[in-house]
Structure 1
Amino acid sequence: MPWESSVSLWTHRDFVRLWIGQSASQLASFAGQVTLPLVAVTSLGAGAAQLGVLRAVQQLPILLFSLVVGVLVDRWRFRSVLVAADLGRALVFASVPLGLGLGLSFLYAVGFAAGVFTVCFDVAYQSALPRLVERDQLAQGNSMLETTRSAAQISGPALGGGLVSLLTAPLAVLASAALFAFSSLSVGRISNRTTTGVPRTGVLRQIGEGLRIVARDSSLRAIAAATCVYQFGFTALTTVYLLFLSRTLSLPSAIVGLVLASFGPGVLIGSLLSAWLPRRFGYGPVVVFAALVSDLVMLVTSTLRGSGPLTVAALVTINVLYGALSQSVDVAVTAVRQLVTPLDVQGRVVATINFLGLGLTPFGALLGGALAAAAGVRTALLVATVWLFLSPLCLTRLRRSLAR
């Protein structure tokens, strides 16, 4: 039975409202990743250590609140969670110019609060799609949502940086506040008001139910395992990748920026292809072979030497291909997860997998840094890339589940 619909979601009013709101929200979020740290640097004189703390407090809510948010998303209307999350972020960002006199502590509080609302929005919008569209429209819907997220990932930082240069960092933050407010208006117009009918039992019991569902279902278990090993290895890889470019290859800063930026177009290409690939080849082959090929492509990086044009061209090519293939895998896996997960536990399953995967990232970063210090940057990069091959190995179990 085909899993890809021939009916365009552009005619689905509620999906278009979700898409518009998610697009504005992602643009605001990625712009804020530039403007908020620049407020800390330019207005409050923050140094590297303070910026590290700001980044940490923005990420901390993922570990602290993901599982609880998953329960709330399953209990409440997803539309209500989306509206509240982006209204909350709009108010938090709008408060920045008014609260600068309170110093860095205030900005840390802003970052933490924004992180909490971001967890709410991300879990809710990923859980909303299967409750909003038909099963055979999931691949198309995920492709459209990921395409705009990828575009925002590329254009958001540029928008933030441009606004800072035109206005000042505190005023540039207001652009994110306005986009978040616009997002809340768009998703608030979604007419789907249904709830999943999840009984209001204890939060811990429902968190445990989400964990058990992931553990017992072979497809979800394979997705969770693949996510965990991938996030761990990719974090270790990215920890040493910048050192590899700047120190091992001795690339100038401008070229390092070009190489890093080349991931963006690849991710955008992958998002655009992600609806077509499963329809052409099937979900099983896409999630396994695209993941395997992307890791093989990245494996070439550790063999590169020198800082000449051929090395730079090879790095850019590798990053574009890796971004496209890995993004195709990510969107396909998301669609499969939505298909096999019952509607009344979508939020808890999303939150559980996010929690397990992202919970390992600090340890991946620590291992990458320690390995680079002990064995050298090139060796650490090679080991981290080889580790990534465990992800397609886990996904082979998912392919067998889909074949049954």
Structure 2
Amino acid sequence: MPSASSDSSPSVPSSLWRDVDFRRLWLGQTASQLGEHASLVILPLLAVLTLDATAGQLGVLRAVGQAPTLVLALFAGAWVDRWRTRTTMVLTDAGRALALGAVALAGLSGRLGMPGLVALACAVGALSVFFDVAYQASVVRLVERDRLVRGNSALEGSRSAAQIGGPALGGALVSLLSAPIAAASSALFFALSFLSIRRIRRAEPVPERPEHQPRVRHRIVDGLRFVAGDTRLRAVGLASAAFQFSFAAVMTVYLLFLPRELHLSGVVVGLILAAAGPGALLGSLLAARLPGRFGHGPVLVCAAALGDGVFLWVPALNGSSALTVPALLVTGFVFGFGGQLVNVTIMAVRQAVTPDGMQGRAAATITFAGMGLAPLGSLFGGFLAGEWGLRTALLVAAAGMMLSPVVMAFSPLARLGRRLPAPHGEPRGG
């Protein structure tokens, strides 16, 4: 594996940006993430502000939207390892555009209700599982291993841009125009992603399939064994599970806390959520350099502790203070910075230790371990808010997020140095 210094060469980013197919993937990813981040604000705000959803109903809405990760992630990994990622991303973009278009049509016709909103959120969540797994595998198929940190940094920067524009756009459209128009805007972004990724022309090196292909369940088990058998990937899965469960609970309470406890409008809520975007953009830029200077392990632990711990003081805020909104903006920025620094570094480590034929299954297994608990976290957040009140519930959920940096600090991840680890041996069942 090349040293971090070689990966930081100025020629690397320029060579990546000269690659037309890489630019098309970047544009498609940016549009897709913009649509996704807008919809993550639009659908809950639509439920809270337009359909007058209770804490329990909001928890159910978020849980159903996240449940497909638990059900489909492992299958998606086995699928992606056998098919072209470009095809998977194009089909899922088209499906999400149609689903959010259905929300818009139902809203314009006056037939939008909680059952329909929950069903469509589930459809969008299911398609997003396949897109996300395919996207992570596509990076390795388009970018050389010694450029993974740079490639991930550029692509994760697109997610940062989406975090800046998506929540603000979604909150503004719901408040200033209408919920159907807000949903339609997300559908348009998925359509743009469809058009961009569809134009990728590079022949994708799909792993060869053996004459006697193992059954899907055997391929899934191989993925589980591979991740569980590598102490670094096992730690990633455990830390992700702790974070995603607690973060889902935090966001369920937070989306109620901002408009109902602090009496903030939809536009302000959108701007507060969007504050994570600039922080994430900075985090994605520094992720290309900080691990090579201080070591991947120290960066992971410190960034996770900073980003996750910043929510602990939010329950002390109140709506009457002139410092409340600026404090919330700073909170979002710090969370975005730490979270994105962790995301880019973790992804580079996971891709580096995983052979090509296992990329999809490794990504799906870790997604399953982490995001699979998000529906339960959303339900737990709704339960806490209903039983203990918004402030107490937010404090408890935020404290739970600190389990993630603790897990990393006591795992082999904390000892990772400046160089990316070497690839693991090829698994059985290719």
TM-score by length of 1: 0.83
Closer, same or farther in 2 for the Cα pair 1:156/1:260, shift >3 Å? closer
Aligned to 2:144: 134
CA distance in 2, matches of 1:142, 1:253: 35
Q: Percent identity?
A: 51
Q: How does 1:393-404 map to 2 (within 5 A)?
A: 393-396=406-409, 397-399=411-413, 402-403=416-417
Does 1:228 find its partner at 2:248?
A: no
Aligned to 1:22: 29
Deviations 1:354-376 (A, max 9, x none): 11112222433454555567777
Deviations 1:294-340 (A, max 9, x none): 34544444666895345654444343223212221122111111111
Does 1:186 find its partner at 2:196?
A: yes
Closer, same or farther in 2 for the Cα pair 1:219/1:246, shift >3 Å? same
1:293 match: secondary structure: helix
Q: Give the gaps of 5 or more residues in structure 1.
A: none
CA distance in 2, matches of 1:109, 1:361: 17
CA distance in 1, matches of 2:323, 2:103: 45
CA distance in 2, matches of 1:38, 1:308: 24
Closer, same or farther in 2 for the Cα pair 1:310/1:79, shift >3 Å? closer
Pick from 352, 373, 397: which aligns with 1:360? 373
Aligned to 2:53: 48
Aligned to 2:208: 197
Q: Match of 2:197, as an amino acid?
A: V
CA distance in 2, matches of 1:52, 1:183: 29
Aligned to 2:159: 149
Q: How does 1:236-255 map to 2 (within 5 A)?
A: 236-241=249-254, 251-254=262-265
Deviations 1:12-70 (A, max 9, x none): 2221111011112222233344566788899xx84426776654443332222111111
CA distance in 2, matches of 1:163, 1:378: 28
Q: Match of 2:88, as an amino acid?
A: V
Q: How does 1:3-402 map to 2 (within 5 A)?
A: 3=4, 4-6=7-9, 7-8=12-13, 9-33=16-40, 46-48=51-53, 55-95=62-102, 104=113, 108-160=118-170, 169-170=179-180, 173-190=183-200, 191-199=202-210, 200-241=213-254, 251-254=262-265, 257=269, 259-301=272-314, 307-310=320-323, 313-368=326-381, 380-396=393-409, 397-399=411-413, 402=416
Shift of 1:158: 3.8
Aligned to 1:2: 3
CA distance in 2, matches of 1:205, 1:243: 43
Answer 1 or 2: which has greater helix percent.
Answer: 1
Task: Name the stretch that deviates more: 3-12 or 221-230.
Answer: 3-12
2:416 match: secondary structure: helix
Deviations 1:100-159 (A, max 9, x none): 767656655443333222111111001111121012221222222222212223312444
Decide whether the 8 Å contact of 2:297 with 2:416 is kept in 1.
Answer: yes
Deviations 1:219-248 (A, max 9, x none): 10010011011122323334444676678x
2:81 match: secondary structure: helix
CA distance in 1, matches of 2:257, 2:58: 23
Q: Give the gaps of 5 or more residues in structure 2.
A: 422-430
Closer, same or farther in 2 for the Cα pair 1:273/1:93, shift >3 Å? same
Decide whether the 8 Å contact of 2:97 with 2:190 is kept in 1.
Answer: yes
Q: Match of 2:205, as an amino acid?
A: T
1:75 match: secondary structure: coil
Decide whether the 8 Å contact of 2:63 with 2:376 is kept in 1.
Answer: no
1:193 match: secondary structure: coil
CA distance in 1, matches of 2:142, 2:223: 21
Decide whether the 8 Å contact of 1:198 with 1:344 is kept in 2.
Answer: no
